[in-house]
Structure 1
């Protein structure tokens, strides 16, 4: 049986296309990074602890819970009374294994306020951490990228000169609100990752 010329050519073209696709390079995908904290389990918040300005006599309050959509919700009320003014949550100390050149990436849904990501290292200095601020968009999920080079040493929120960040010593992360605007706040966390730029 002899096929018409047009049909023969069509079959040849289809066969060639299938063969080429079989050997084509796969479409590039975004580097997903290494997950530090995933907040998709009911007990995800148990890895974290609340630290508010009550340790200094302040009256801010906050809580961390699993939201109805499966994410972790950090919310509360920021108060400026009694020399207060911050509410925070931080992970329990554990090795995190960061390196120079790494970038911390967070997926958050905020309220339009400016938050702080804290990096903690073993240190005897009170209220010491390396900080970097990040903006949020009200009621919108956004991905925040914070290179380690953008973090500055602080104590009680004030810059500390001469202190360099040693990524390998970081053993805890935290999220803080200290924007000097009293009132309620809400921040949802989906995940926190590290993107290595090596």
Structure 2
């Protein structure tokens, strides 16, 4: 049922490989007096489907006369190395300035994002990630300083919400010659910073999560040389890297304490409900008690 609602580029390949990770959590829902925390993840970009890579738009400093290059190459799954089908965002960064453009003072960047989703009779198509706390990415990185970019239907079209892609198992992380490993990176949607032309904008404003136009990744460290980043999928979720609901949701009584969803959360919520049922009735304040006394005295005087 859920898969049928996906856009054409989100093929079932993503679910075939990651359902085992999410299926256990998706069977549970947390209800607190009408409040529901979504536990089923929402696929955004499934790069196991070769069609998804054809839907990406590549951007480099060549638009202003620079010399950086970038490519997206589709890679097949490799069971021998437990590598999923994915895309490889790769190329070479150059900080060389164009000779015929004295107005260009800085080069050395490359990025990609999805193209616009199109329109329907009801208007432009967007993603809504409002019910979610995290953006999750399955990546294998060379360790360079990548940024994750989210563009919404903002009043200022060039506004981009950005966050660093912080990896722990990138190339050279364990030792100078250690290879990169696949890992899942989770970024709090609340932690994205609104920028414009690479500069942080003030005052900051909350991301318009109901109308997301694009997701992408950019490399703007301006370090000359080759780069290589593998990405198999992006999705929105409320589950952290331990398969747990994160407690800092900002909702009333949403402090689940990162409890294991399948083992502790339902039990904790039932225990809290029982505690609320056993709580004594709310005690009246001094002002409320005095008001009751005054009403009683007035009744006595009129009787």
Give the TM bin, normalised by the shorter chain: 0.7 to 0.9
Q: Secondary structure at the match of 2:24?
A: coil
Determine whether 1:121 maps to 2:121.
Answer: no
State the secondary structure of the residue aligned to 1:98. coil
Contact 2:153 2:208 in 1 (8 A): no
Change (3 A) 1:146 1:30: same
Deviations 1:63-85 (A, max 9, x none): 11202432111000111122212
TM-score (norm 1): 0.78
How many residue pairs get aligned? The number is 171
Any conservation in 2 of the 1:52–1:62 contact (CA below 8 Å)? yes
Match of 2:111 among 88, 91, 95: 88
SS in 1 for 2:50: coil
1:181 CA drift (Å): 1.2
When you count strand as a share of all residues, which structure comes out higher? 1
Q: Tell me, in whole angstroms, the C-alpha distance in 1 between the residues paired with 2:96 and 2:135.
A: 33
Q: Secondary structure at the match of 1:59?
A: coil
State the partner residue of 1:21.
none
**Contact (CA 8 Å) 2:91, 2:227: kept in 1 or not?**
yes
Runs of 4+ in structure 1 over 3 Å off? 122-127
Calculate the TM-score normalised by the size of structure 2: 0.52
Using a 3 Å threshold, how does the CA distance of structure 1 residues 159 and 100 change in structure 2: closer, same or farther?
farther
Q: Structure 1: 5+ residue runs without aligned partners?
A: 1-27
The structure with the largest alpha-carbon Rg is 2
Alpha-carbon distance in structure 2 between the residues aligned to 1:125 and 1:39: 29
Q: Specify every segment of 5 or more residues in structure 2 that has no aligned partner in the other structure, as ranges.
A: 1-22, 27-39, 78-84, 98-105, 118-125, 172-179, 239-244, 250-303
